[in-house]
C-alpha cells in the first residue's frame, strides 16, 4: 500500500460519506474549468472517475455523453462541436 492509498483509506474511515460531496464538487469544478478552455470541448472519463462524472452531471456541472460506449464530459447544453443543443 502506497502512502497515498493509506491516506485515502484513513480519510474515508474518518470522514466517510461526509467527505464525498466536497471532494466530488471540487473535482467537478476542476473538470468544468478545463472544459471552458479553448480547444477542450470534451474530456474522456474512465475507471473510478465515471461515478464522479455521473454525479457531476446530475448536479449540473456538465453533461456526460457516450461515444461507442465510452463516456465523456461536455459542457451542459453544448455538443462536442460547440453548437447549442435544442432543449
Predicted local confidence at residue 87, as pLDDT: 36
Task: Report helix, strand or coil for 71.
Answer: strand
Q: Which residue has the higher pLDDT, 13 or 55?
A: 55
In the chain, where are the structural domains located?
20-87
pLDDT of residue 17: 61
Give the pLDDT of residue 82: 43
Residue-wise pLDDT tens digits, 49-75: 898 899 999 999 999 999 999 999 999
34 has a pLDDT exceeding 90? yes
8 A C-beta contact, residue 76 and residue 28: no
Query: Is a pLDDT exceeding 50 seen at residue 11?
Result: yes
Q: Quick check: helix, strand or coil at residue 44?
A: strand
Amino acid at each position: 500500500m502506497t502512502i497515498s492509498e493509506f491516506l485515502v483509506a484513513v480519510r474515508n474511515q474518518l470522514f466517510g460519506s461526509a467527505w464525498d460531496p466536497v471532494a466530488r464538487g471540487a473535482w467537478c469544478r476542476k473538470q468544468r474549468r478545463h472544459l471552458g478552455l479553448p480547444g477542450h470541448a470534451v474530456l474522456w472519463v474512465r475507471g473510478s472517475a465515471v461515478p464522479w462524472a455521473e454525479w457531476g452531471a446530475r448536479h449540473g456541472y456538465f453533461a456526460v455523453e457516450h461515444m461507442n460506449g465510452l463516456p465523456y464530459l461536455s459542457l451542459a447544453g453544448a455538443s462536442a462541436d460547440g453548437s447549442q443543443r435544442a432543449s
